[in-house]
Every structure is written in C-alpha cells, then in structure tokens.
Amino acid sequence: MVRATSNRPESTRRRQRWPDGYDPENTRKSLIASALELFERRGFDRTSVQEIADRAKLTKGAFYHHFESKDDLLRHIQEEYLEAQLAAIAKIEAGSDDPKVRVAELIRFSLTSVAEYRAHVTIFYQERRNLTADLFAEVTRKRGLVESAFAGMIADGVARGAFRSDVDPRIATFGLVGMCAWAYQWLNVGGPLSVDEVARQFSAMVLEGLYA
C-alpha cells in the first residue's frame, strides 16, 4: 500500500542502447502484459509478483526496478484503460450531435473497447477496491465522466424531443452502461457474435424497443 507516484518523466530519461535492438522499455511492457493476463484470469490478490515476473521470464528484482509496488502496477493498468475511454468519448462528442446517432455510437464504442481492452476492463471492474482510497476516488471520478457522457446525451435527446419525455436519463444511463459493461463477461472477439452485430442489436433494442 505504498503511496507516491512512479511517473517517470519520459522526456528526461536518456534511453540506453542495448545489443541487437533490445529495448529496455520492453521489459516494462512485458511485465504489464504478463500481469494483464494473470490478473484477468486469477485476480489481483491471487497473482503473486513472483508469478508475474516468471511469466515475463524475469525476476522480482526486475519487477521492483520498474514498479514501486504491486499496487503501482494495478494503478498503471487502470489509468491506461481510463485514458483510452476518455479519449474515445471526446471523439464521439466531437461528431454528430443527433442524440440517436450519439447513443448508437456510444454503445458501439463501449462494446468495441470491451472487446479490445478485455483484460483491462475485467481488471478494472473486479479490482477497483484494491486501490488505495484516494486513487479509488480518482478512478471513480474519471469513470463518472464516461457515464456522464451517456447521461448527457440521453438528457439532451429528451430535451430536444427525440426521446420519450417520461424517460429518466439517470436510470436509462445506468441501464445502458450496465448492458455494455456486462459484455466483458461474455463477449469474445473470436466468438460467434461480432461486435458490430451486438452493437446493432443493443441499439435497436434500446432505441426502438422489442415490440413488434
């Protein structure tokens, strides 16, 4: 439970040259990749630092050279995912302002990111409580921004008469977010259901309803 950030100022770090194209930053990446896989499959608590190092064909010493603590690594993973989320939201908000289009876009984007960042997402939702209190608050805040985007678009749709007036934007948002977030439990990239098809079905269900 060590505090303190480990943000290494990339700009001030002189990169060392290693033989035959070896890049020391790769070890960091492979440690993260190793952790992503292990955390996703067995959870944060049941994955030891030793195992993370082993899987990356390194040692604990190397791990603790690159990360302050196990928590620090978790934090890194969470932020990696959140940054991607926020960037994508911004892109959608810069596009069409038709509420229907926006909601459909948001659904599709959410599902895409679940498929793409599967391990990140799983870890994000399952291991949030392992963060320190203040870090948890920060992560929750950023996550709230994503949900606010949903809520804002729906509220906008209601205000402009595109959506039914008796829709409660907060509740509808919870439903939408849940629908999409839950996909991390069952949606696999190689599976029988394509992301686009799922997105289309979800949009149709939510926008037009199931009724014939």
Partner DNA sequence: ACAATGCTACCGTCCGGTCGGAAGGAATGG
Partner DNA sequence: CCATTCCTTCCGACCGGACGGTAGCATTGT
Nearer to DNA, 14 or 164 (CB): 14
Residue 185 interacts with DNA (CB under 7 A): yes or no: no
Backbone angles phi, psi at 192, to 5 degrees: -75, -20
- State which of positions 118-147 bind a copy of itself (CB under 8 A): 126, 129-130
Single out the segment in contact with DNA by CB under 7 A; choices: 67-75, 96-104, 109-117, 173-181.
67-75
Contacts of 120 (CB under 8 A, 6+ apart): 36, 77, 78, 80, 81, 84
Among 4, 13, 164, 190, binds a copy of itself (CB under 8 A): 164
Tokens, residue 180? 């999409």
Report whether 206 contacts 176 (CB < 8 A).
yes
Q: What angle do CA 17, 25, 44 make, to 5 degrees?
A: 160
Residue 1 interacts with DNA (CB under 7 A): yes or no: yes
Residue 97 interacts with a copy of itself (CB under 8 A): yes or no: no
Q: How many CA within 13 A on the CB side of residue 175?
A: 13
What residues make contact with a copy of itself under the rule CB under 8 A? 41-43, 45-46, 100, 103, 126, 129-130, 154, 157, 161-168, 170-172, 174-183, 185-187, 193, 197-198, 201-202, 204-212
